[in-house]
Amino acid sequence: MGHLGWVRSVAVDPANEWFCTGAADRTIKIWDLASGKLKLTLTGHIGAVRGLAISDRHPYMFSAGDDKQVKCWDLEYNKVIRNYHGHLSGVYAAEVHPSLDLLVTGGRDATARVWDMRTKAQVFALGGHRDTINSIQTQKVDPQIISGSADSTVRRNSRRKMKTLVFFPICGQSHRVSALTRYVYGTWRRGRACQL
């Protein structure tokens, strides 16, 4: 009933009715938020599912995996309707822009890729990291794309200018950025005990 491998990603439906999990068993499971019961299992990746993102404006869920694949799932039909090709290695993070039809992904190739979710076109590739991108966040105002990497850095990027606005190391070089979290008041933090 549950996953047969490590759970690598979790995303919650914007309507707060269900959540999904992606795991090393190459599946995505959709669960009822109130009861915790499994509603559906989706297959299609040939490697661990590492990143999940849910659109709050379309019936789409996006998945990213070790297989270099980024997929768009139509949740009305529970099937893949688009694949986004361009990453050179495993994809670890996915995030939907809150007000534009853009998807941002990042992974082992150290590049944050910005996609037009409708046309599948890669709009831009944001380089600069020297190691795996583990986490991405987006927001409506600049800096619109923020990425955290295993190279111990965070990059704040402008979607309009498509360049890095600010680059800074976090807590020295001995720690890797494994997660970014957005707080209500607009303050960003990474997964370890350092405040930005």
pLDDT for position 140: 85
Band of pLDDT at residue 152, cut at 50, 70 and 90: confident
Radius of gyration of the chain (CA): 16
**Residue 163: what pLDDT?**
53
pLDDT one-digit tens code per residue, 96-113? 999 899 999 999 999 999
Mean pLDDT of 157-182: 55
Mean pLDDT over residues 124-141, rounded? 91
Mean predicted lDDT score pLDDT of the chain: 85
Whole-angstrom distance, CA of residue 8 vs CA of residue 30: 14
pTM for the model stands at 0.84
Query: What are the contacts of 169-175 at 24+ separation with CB within 8 A?
Result: 170/194, 170/196
Pairing of strands 60-65, 70-74: antiparallel
Q: What is the pLDDT of residues 5-58, one digit of tens each?
A: 999 999 999 999 999 999 999 999 999 999 999 999 999 999 999 999 999 999
**Could you check whether the bond before residue 169 is cis, i.e. omega within 30 degrees of 0?**
no
Identify which has the larger pLDDT, 178 or 105: 105
User: Cα(186)–Cα(21) distance, rounded to whole angstroms?
Assistant: 26
Record the tokens describing residue 150, joined without a space.
Answer: 């295993």
Band (pLDDT 50/70/90 cuts) for residue 188 is very low
Secondary structure string (H, E, C) spanning the chain: CCCCCCEEEEEECCCCCEEEEEECCCEEEEEECCCCCEEEEEECCCCCEEEEEECCCCCEEEEEECCCCEEEEECCCCEEEEEECCCCCCEEEEEECCCCCEEEEEECCCCEEEEECCCCCEEEEECCCCCCEEEEEECCCCCCEEEEECCCEEEEEECCCCEEEEEEECCCCCCCCCCEEECCCCCEEECCCCEC
